[in-house]
Amino acid sequence: MPLRTIIQPDNPVLRKKAIRVHSYDKKFQTLVDDMIETLMAAPGVGLAAPQVAVSQRLIIVQLPNDDDAKAEFGDEAGKLYVVANPEIIKASKAMLEGVEGCLSIPGYVGLVDRHEKITITGFDRHGQPLRIKAEGWQARVFQHEIDHLDGRLYIDIASEIWKPSEREAEEAED
């Protein structure tokens, strides 16, 4: 499984609305496997297909699995989500401001408001329906990745953008 190249904003695929996934065939499974490997190598906590120059509505999310993550996220720590055609069907009114980074925009982070809690529907890598309830940082990651599917980057909605210290950069990677 080869690593895919993570594109940057100069590639127009990153700014296009991605098309729905209609087939869960071998080619799709290869894309999923490649994206998982690319995310792990990056490293990051989320990756959308447009970030690897594939205009499909597919995201991969995996929170860290270290002791701090286990304490904060419990069973969600380290859990891998593959979601085709994700849709946010419910979002809390409560918003949280937080620092975000992006594998497609290396070297910068920004301050972004996101819904504190969301519910997502979509399909797993085999086309089976799924429903995910997420809150806090996990909800932020899902919202960030879903934005990629609509051609929107965090820099479009950030209240502030800056070059972070090394520690801030590690904490904010998506």
Q: Are 89 and 115 in contact (CB under 8 A)?
A: no
Q: Taking 60 as the threshold, does the pLDDT of residue 13 lie above it? A: yes
| Residue 90 Cα to chain centre, angstroms | 18
- 145 catalytic? Reply is yes
pLDDT of residue 167: 64
Backbone angles phi, psi at 7, to 5 degrees: -85, 165
Alpha-carbon span 107 to 38, nearest angstrom: 18
CATH architecture of 12-172: Alpha-Beta Complex (3.90)
Q: Taking 90 as the threshold, does the pLDDT of residue 99 lie above it? A: yes
The domain spans of the chain are 12-172
**Does the pTM exceed 0.85?**
yes
Tell me the per-residue pLDDT of 58-78, one tens digit each, with 9 for 90 and over: 999 998 777 776 666 667 767
The one catalytic residue among 145, 168, 171, 173: 145
pLDDT of residue 32: 98
Tell me the per-residue pLDDT of 119-174, one tens digit each, with 9 for 90 and over: 999 999 999 999 999 999 999 999 999 999 999 999 999 999 999 876 655 555 55
